[in-house]
């Protein structure tokens, strides 16, 4: 489809991408398998344009799925979401609506959920559901293991619903104090979105107390509505104080006991907690993140004892769901030499040829992990307790799984757009697929994978559909490029936007350079102390290596675009290497790392009070001031004015520095938009505006 026709079409890719929330609506998600293997529960909306998720159950014996909770039937919607739930969804990058999370007992007989600030409960066997009589503004409900009660957070306190009704478990007066909710830094950077945990006996809870008083107050303004007061947020910028976190074990009878998890002040961060029949353990980190410890907690006294310690001269990586206990053994995933390895009681049981990405299930037979030999793929590997591993899925695809008893839901994502499925397997026999109602983009992918340059950088080349391999093409670099995220994976859904840009007349190059995951600790840690030079050098190296292999890549017309860290990288590219990059779009870029949060930033750059040089050499305003007589290529800065993750000050500071240096540039403010862009009109037109800007900047005929 031609460029002009594409812009005019109501069924254009930008439109479909927007209304389907990047083609995610209607797909089964948040899949859970009961411990007895009899049922599978999951969330799904009614189709590719419906953002409202309901709760579904797949019966393994009959291979029939049914909807248990229909939000519309319960008469609740997202219009009255409490601010705390809105913030939790932003931390989780949640773009759906309706039920976006649920909790259940082990065998999936009962579940609880939040819906429009109300708490609901469902009988997953009978297929019935109801909204409970609770105080307004409830969120993050958690079911007691025996199903007798639901605890939830409301009005900065923890509440309980049981046979006696709805009552407060704990609440404390004070504008800066909350109980039961995870602090900002835990949700944004540690992957911990919860702040309380049930005991296995359903009689006690471990509850987090957060005091944000030490944190500086920042303000999120709404300039398009000048009568509206700015919204205050407590943002822990690099080098400044974090929230004060305490823990208590609270009985349903009202007894309360403090957990002394940080008596000497050694630990700054509560990374995770896990309470099972094997015991209560905490995962904690020092402020510099070079030391992590696993603490055993005595629930009767609150006394903690260190079970295991991990140290690293750069940082210790947090792995979701780890550590855990099984049969008295401590299972962790740790960086050892060249690999991220599965460890049991501190001893590595996998070798350097396997990068363990996630632990899926731990059983008496061993540990099921998702792991990579090649960073572009993910395979399932069963590791016996003696370290023997058995691959369970083909390579060169992306695989995941959820396990309960003898039942597994195995997910497959590949470069074939139709090959995305979630298959229920019982006793090693396929039972059926969970119905997927999501839309597949109407385009032909033209993507090839490469390992280029002296560092064998994982790179994808996306060409216009039907390109002859000879006609010169301008180049669009389309990276993320930063820690904790990969763009180059053998998953078709990751390349639909890149393919659309390619079909506008570009050769699109996507490269995962140093700092990105999947290649092992050494590759990731190469950015310690400098998030700029190594990352940018790898983009340049990949570009030149690809051009040497593909002479039709026109190096006289090269643009780069990105969002968040990718936005930082795009702006960095035209500031430092205008000889290579001739236009850039920087969306929601970090420009001054002092204005980003403690846990993320200090992991890579250290504390600015101790290592200020690392912040100076990565500061984009410093690069802007150093431009001198050099011309700045066309640069568009895009930022959501409601962004509370990368605040708008980043873009405004860079814009001011560029103006002071006499360098023209474009700023596109997005009113009411956060770090995500879920609004349909914004998401649709943002793609079109970017395409027009790049085409004009590179002199491509429109």
Q: How far apart are CA 464 and CA 507, in angstroms?
A: 7
Other beta carbons less than 10 A from residue 551's beta carbon: 11
Which DSSP category does 593 fall into? G
| pLDDT confidence bin for 10, thresholds 50/70/90 | low
pLDDT at residue 1 is higher than 60: no
Arithmetic mean of pLDDT, 289-313: 98
Q: How far apart are CA 373 and CA 354, in angstroms?
A: 5
Distances (CA, A) of 174 to 194, 210, 301, 579: 21, 11, 27, 56
pLDDT of amino acid 679: 82
For residue 537, the domain's CATH number is 3.40.50.1820
* Same domain membership, residue 410 and residue 489: no
Q: Residue 477 is encoded by which pair of tokens?
A: 């670099």
183 lies in some domain:
no
Phi-psi region of 428 (alpha: psi -120 to 50; beta: other; left: phi over 0): left
Helices 533-549 and 565-576: angle between axes, nearest 10 degrees: 80
Closest CA to 398 of 410, 383, 384: 410
pLDDT of amino acid 8: 36
* Same domain membership, residue 451 and residue 431: no
* Same domain membership, residue 153 and residue 127: yes
* Residues 281/323, Cβ–Cβ less than 8 Å: yes
pLDDT tens by residue, 48-65: 999 999 999 999 999 999
Q: Residue 398 is encoded by which pair of tokens?
A: 């992306």
At 692, is the secondary structure helix, strand, or coil?
helix
* Same domain membership, residue 422 and residue 549: no
* Same domain membership, residue 466 and residue 417: no
Q: How far apart are the first and last CA of the chain?
A: 13
* Same domain membership, residue 431 and residue 563: no
Q: How far apart are CA 97 and CA 111, in angstroms?
A: 18
Cβ neighbours of residue 449 closer than 8 Å, sequence gap 6 or more = 376, 458, 459, 460, 488, 490
* Same domain membership, residue 679 and residue 542: yes
Query: What backbone phi and psi angles, to 5 degrees, belong to 366?
Result: 145, -155
Max CA distance (Å), the chain: 76
Closest CA to 195 of 167, 162, 160, 153: 153
| pTM reported for the whole predicted model | 0.94
Arithmetic mean of pLDDT, 380-392: 90
Arithmetic mean of pLDDT, 121-150: 94
Closest CA to 512 of 570, 565, 448, 459: 459
Q: How far apart are CA 24 and CA 440, in angstroms?
A: 9
The residue behind tokens 């219009």 is 79
* Same domain membership, residue 632 and residue 488: yes
Arithmetic mean of pLDDT, 232-248: 97
* Residues 599/189, Cβ–Cβ less than 8 Å: yes
54 lies in some domain:
yes
Nearest 5 degrees, angle CA 36-CA 39-CA 40?
120
* Same domain membership, residue 428 and residue 451: no
Indicate the Cα dihedral angle 46, 48, 49, 51, nearest 10°.
Answer: 60
Instruction: Encode 404-424: b = buried (16+ Cβ within 10 Å), e = exposed.
Output: bbebbbbbbbbbebeebebeb
Q: What is the enclosing helix (H) or strand (E) of 543?
A: helix 533-549
How many domains, the chain? 2
pLDDT tens by residue, 595-633: 999 999 999 999 999 999 999 999 999 999 999 999 999
At 507, is the secondary structure helix, strand, or coil?
strand
392 lies in some domain:
no
Average per-residue pLDDT in the chain? 94
Q: Find the domain containing 133 and state its range.
A: 22-170+405-435
Q: How far apart are CA 154 and CA 160, in angstroms?
A: 10
* Same domain membership, residue 478 and residue 414: no
Q: How far apart are CA 241 and CA 220, in angstroms?
A: 20
Closest CA to 668 of 682, 657, 679: 682
Q: Residue 520 is encoded by which pair of tokens?
A: 């092992």
568 lies in some domain:
yes
Count of residues making up the chain: 702
pLDDT of amino acid 2: 34
pLDDT tens by residue, 336-361: 989 999 999 999 999 999 999 999 99
* Same domain membership, residue 587 and residue 456: yes
262 lies in some domain:
no
Range scoring the smallest mean pLDDT among 76-85, 101-110, 159-168, 688-697: 76-85
DSSP symbols for 285-334: E-TTSSEEEEEEE-TTT-BEEEEEEEE-SS-PPP-TT-SEEETTEEEEEE
600 lies in some domain:
yes
pLDDT at residue 74 is higher than 70: yes
Q: Residue 270 is encoded by which pair of tokens?
A: 């509560």
Percent of the chain with pLDDT over 90: 88
570 lies in some domain:
yes
Range scoring the smallest mean pLDDT among 276-290, 395-409, 565-579, 656-670: 395-409
Q: What is the enclosing helix (H) or strand (E) of 74?
A: helix 71-74
pLDDT at residue 496 is higher than 60: yes
- Going by their DSSP bridges, the two strands 339-344 and 347-348 should be labelled as antiparallel
Q: Over 346-380, what HEC string results?
A: CEECCCCCCEEEEEEEEECCEEEEEEECCCCCEEE
Q: What is the enclosing helix (H) or strand (E) of 3?
A: helix 3-8
Arithmetic mean of pLDDT, 424-447: 96
Q: What is the enclosing helix (H) or strand (E) of 203?
A: none
* Same domain membership, residue 626 and residue 480: yes
Closest CA to 56 of 35, 93, 31, 77: 31
Detail the DSSP E strand segments found in 463-614: 473-477, 507-512, 553-563, 583-587
pLDDT at residue 636 is higher than 80: yes
Query: Which sign does the torsion angle of CA 586, 591, 595, 601 carry?
Result: positive
9 lies in some domain:
no
């Amino acid at each position: 489809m031609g460029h002009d026709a594409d812009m005019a079409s109501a069924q254009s890719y930008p439109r479909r991408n927007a209304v389907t929330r990047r083609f995610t609506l209607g797909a089964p998600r948040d899949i859970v398998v009961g411990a007895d293997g009899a049922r599978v529960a999951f969330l799904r909306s009614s189709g590719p344009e419906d953002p409202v998720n309901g709760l579904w159950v797949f019966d393994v014996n009959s291979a029939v799925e049914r909807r248990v909770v229909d939000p519309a039937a319960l008469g609740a919607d997202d219009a009255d979401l409490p601010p705390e739930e809105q913030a939790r969804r932003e931390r989780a990058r949640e773009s759906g609506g309706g039920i976006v999370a649920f909790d259940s007992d082990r065998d999936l007989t009962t579940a609880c959920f939040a819906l429009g600030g109300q708490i609901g409960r469902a009988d997953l066997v009978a297929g019935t559901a109801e909204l409970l009589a609770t105080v307004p503004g409830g969120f993050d409900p958690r079911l007691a293991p025996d199903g007798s009660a639901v605890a939830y957070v409301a009005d900065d306190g923890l509440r309980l619903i049981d046979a006696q009704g709805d009552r407060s478990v704990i609440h404390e007066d004070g504008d800066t104090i909350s109980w039961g909710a995870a602090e900002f830094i835990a949700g944004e950077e540690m992957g911990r979105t919860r702040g309380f945990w049930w005991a296995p006996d359903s009689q006690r809870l471990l509850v987090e107390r957060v005091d944000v008083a030490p944190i500086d107050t920042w303000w999120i303004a709404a300039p398009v509505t000048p009568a509206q007061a700015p919204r205050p947020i407590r943002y822990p910028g690099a080098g400044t104080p974090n929230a004060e976190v305490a823990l208590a074990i609270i009985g349903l009878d009202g007894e309360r006991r403090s957990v002394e998890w940080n008596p000497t002040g050694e630990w700054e961060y509560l990374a995770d907690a896990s309470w099972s029949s094997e015991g209560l353990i905490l995962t904690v980190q020092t402020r510099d993140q070079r030391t992590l410890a696993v603490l055993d907690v005595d629930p009767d006294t609150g006394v903690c004892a260190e079970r295991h310690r991990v140290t690293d001269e750069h940082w210790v990586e947090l792995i979701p769901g780890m550590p855990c206990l099984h049969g008295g053994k401590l299972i962790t995933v740790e960086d050892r030499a060249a690999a991220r390895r599965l460890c049991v009681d501190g001893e590595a049981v996998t070798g350097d040829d396997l990068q363990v990405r996630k632990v899926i299930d731990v059983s008496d037979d061993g540990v099921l992990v998702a792991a990579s030999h090649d960073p572009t793929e993910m395979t399932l590997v069963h590791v016996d307790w003696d370290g023997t591993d058995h691959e369970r899925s083909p390579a060169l695809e992306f695989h995941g799984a959820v396990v309960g008893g003898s039942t597994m839901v195995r997910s497959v994502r590949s470069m074939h757009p139709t090959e995305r499925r979630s298959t229920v397997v019982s006793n090693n026999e396929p039972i059926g697929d969970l119905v997927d109602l999501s839309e597949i983009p109407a385009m032909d992918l033209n993507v090839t994978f490469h390992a280029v340059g002296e560092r064998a950088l994982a790179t994808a080349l996306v060409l216009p559909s039907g390109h002859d391999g000879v006609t010169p093409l301008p180049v669009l670099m389309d990276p993320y490029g930063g820690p904790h995220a990969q763009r180059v994976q053998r998953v078709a859904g990751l390349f639909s936007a890149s393919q659309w840009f390619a079909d506008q007349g570009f050769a699109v190059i996507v490269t995962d350079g140093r700092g990105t995951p999947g290649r092992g600790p050494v590759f990731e840690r190469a950015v310690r102390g400098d998030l700029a030079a190594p990352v940018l050098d790898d983009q340049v190296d990949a570009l030149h290596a690809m051009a040497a292999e593909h002479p039709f890549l026109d190096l006289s017309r090269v643009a780069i675009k990105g969002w968040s860290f990718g936005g930082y990288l795009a702006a960095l590219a035209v500031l430092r290497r205008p000889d290579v990059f001739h236009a850039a779009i920087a969306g929601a870029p970090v420009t001054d790392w002092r204005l980003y949060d403690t846990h993320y930033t200090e992991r890579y750059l250290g504390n600015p009070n101790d290592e200020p040089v690392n912040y100076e050499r990565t500061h984009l305003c410093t690069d802007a001031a150093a431009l001198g007589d050099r011309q700045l290529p066309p640069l568009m800065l895009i930022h959501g004015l409601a962004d509370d993750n990368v605040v708008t000050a980043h873009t405004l500071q860079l814009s001011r520095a560029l103006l002071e240096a006499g360098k023209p540039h474009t700023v596109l403010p997005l009113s009411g938009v956060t770090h995500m862009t879920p609004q349909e009109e914004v998401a649709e037109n943002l793609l079109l505006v970017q395409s027009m800007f790049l085409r004009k900047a590179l002199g491509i005929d429109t």
